[in-house]
């Protein structure tokens, strides 16, 4: 299997998953129909690139359709109006910059960027979210990256928050993005931090962290490796502090991950649940969480000319 970043076959198969089982869990736990295209796939394969550390799923056809995301948007937590990376990124912009956000959702980041004095536009594949944003007067469309390039657009900053991990071909996506950056322009990428996810979900059972939702897993070393393959240089890498709304999820996941190899699942569930872990969660919410690495990693790249 060829790595989607390095193009090398220095890769290792980690696991094979049953698509029918995953489809049933999606419907049972989230009430979401993953679609016939996903169910028609015989098996999912989970690979690691030994050159970059990227972990990803095959085949590419397992990636979710716009229909999947239109079902997920019924959950309030899916398109959050406030995200840690929104403020961190906008605070890095030079005054009066041109900004493109890819995967704008309902446009909350675009709105913040405009209020900060920037010329900000967005693109989004979920037509329901596009309609919602446009009704609020935001400049968000369903255009593709190629269409923006062909129409002569270029930007000081391009941002893609929680997007890269959904894509079956991340290298081509990044190449298309780089074309839209002005010389010395900046690319901001945020994804779930795989280092954090491994701590709270060591068996990789989280539905939202696998196809048809997430197609790849990223961490600091993977992002640094992009410098070898693309005209990008890392400016900074920052980690989101553990968010208050992630505390219970993180505590339960981390402790269960420690004990599951040692005890049967029933015993683990009896020992660690929302009631027995309440004191730990309370302490973290009181302020200690701010000193712990949380869900998201944010990377600032600069485009290298030449």
User: In terms of DSSP bridges, do strands 181-192 and 155-161 run parallel, antiparallel, or are they unpaired?
Assistant: parallel
- Cβ-based neighbour number of residue 184 at 10 Å: 10
For the chain, domain boundaries: 64-240+294-303, 247-285
pLDDT band at 266 (very low <50, low <70, confident <90, very high): low
> Could you tell me the two tokens for 49?
């690139």
User: Which pLDDT belongs to residue 153?
Assistant: 94
pLDDT digits (tens, 9 = 90+) for 42-54: 899 999 999 999 9
DSSP bridge pairs for 81: none
Q: Which one, of 88, 295, 57, lies nearest residue 198 by Cα?
A: 295
CB 154 within 8 A of CB 180: yes
- Which two three-digit tokens encode residue 271? 């020992």
Peptide bond into 212 cis (omega under 30): yes
The per-residue pLDDT for 304 is 93
Strands (E) in 35-82, as ranges, are: 44-49, 55-58
Which residue from 124, 100, 229, 130 is spatially nearest to 170, judged by alpha carbons? 229
* pLDDT tens digits, 187-217: 999 999 999 898 888 888 899 999 999 999 9
Q: Structure pTM?
A: 0.88
What local confidence, expressed as pLDDT, does residue 251 receive? 75
- Residue 280 pLDDT class (50, 70, 90 cuts): confident
User: What is the chain's mean pLDDT, rounded?
Assistant: 90
- Report pLDDT for 273: 64
Q: Is the separation of the CB atoms in 210 and 218 below 8 Å?
A: no
**Alpha helix (H) ranges present in 31-142?**
36-39, 66-72, 84-90, 108-115, 127-135
C-beta separation of 84 from 240 below 8 A: yes
The structure tokens 């961490």 sit at 219
Given this model, what pLDDT does residue 26 score? Answer: 94
User: What would be the CATH architecture of the domain defined by 64-240+294-303?
Assistant: 3-Layer(aba) Sandwich (3.40)
Instruction: Categorize the per-residue pLDDT at 264 as very low, low, confident or very high, splitting at 50, 70 and 90.
Output: low
pLDDT in tens, 59-114: 999 999 888 888 888 887 777 778 999 999 999 999 999 999 999 989 999 999 99
DSSP label of 86:
H
The reported pLDDT for the residue numbered 300 is 98
Helical spans, DSSP H, in 181-288: 194-200, 220-225, 247-259, 265-271, 278-285
CA 134 centroid distance within chain: 24
Structure-block tokens of residue 196:
């954090």
Confidence of residue 284 (pLDDT cuts 50, 70, 90): confident
| Residue in the block written with tokens 């929104």 | 86
**22 pLDDT band (50/70/90 cuts)?**
very high
pLDDT tens, 143-190?
Answer: 999 999 999 999 999 999 999 999 999 999 999 999 999 999 999 999
d(CA 138, CA 15): 43
Q: How far apart are CA 93 and CA 85, in angstroms?
A: 13
């Amino acid at each position: 299997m060829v790595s989607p970043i390095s193009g090398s076959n220095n890769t290792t198969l980690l696991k094979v998953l049953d698509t029918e089982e995953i489809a049933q869990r999606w419907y049972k736990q989230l009430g979401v129909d993953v679609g016939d295209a996903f169910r028609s796939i015989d098996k999912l394969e989970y690979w690691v690139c030994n050159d970059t550390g990227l972990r990803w799923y095959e085949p590419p056809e397992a990636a979710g359709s716009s229909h999947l995301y239109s079902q997920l948007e019924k959950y309030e937590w899916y398109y959050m109006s406030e995200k840690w990376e929104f403020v961190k990124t906008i605070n890095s912009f030079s005054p009066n910059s041109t900004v493109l956000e890819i995967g704008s959702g309902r446009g909350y980041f675009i709105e913040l960027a405009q209020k900060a004095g920037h010329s900000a536009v967005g693109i989004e594949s979920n037509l329901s979210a596009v309609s919602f944003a446009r009704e609020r007067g935001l400049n968000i469309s369903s255009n593709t990256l190629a269409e923006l390039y062909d129409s002569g657009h270029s930007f000081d900053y391009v941002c893609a928050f929680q997007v890269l991990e959904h894509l079956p071909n991340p290298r081509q996506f990044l190449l298309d993005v780089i074309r839209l950056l002005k010389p010395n322009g900046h690319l901001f990428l945020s994804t779930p931090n795989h280092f954090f996810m491994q701590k709270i979900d060591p068996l990789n059972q989280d539905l939202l962290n696998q196809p048809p939702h997430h197609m790849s897993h990223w961490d600091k070393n993977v992002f640094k490796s992009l410098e070898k393959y693309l005209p990008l240089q890392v400016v900074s890498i920052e980690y989101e502090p553990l968010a208050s709304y992630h505390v219970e999820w993180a505590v339960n996941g981390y402790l269960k991950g420690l004990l599951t190899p040692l005890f049967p699942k029933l015993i683990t569930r009896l020992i660690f649940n929302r009631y027995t872990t309440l004191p730990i969660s309370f302490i973290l919410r009181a302020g200690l969480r701010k000193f712990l690495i949380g869900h998201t990693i944010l990377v600032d790249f600069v485009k290298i000319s030449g």
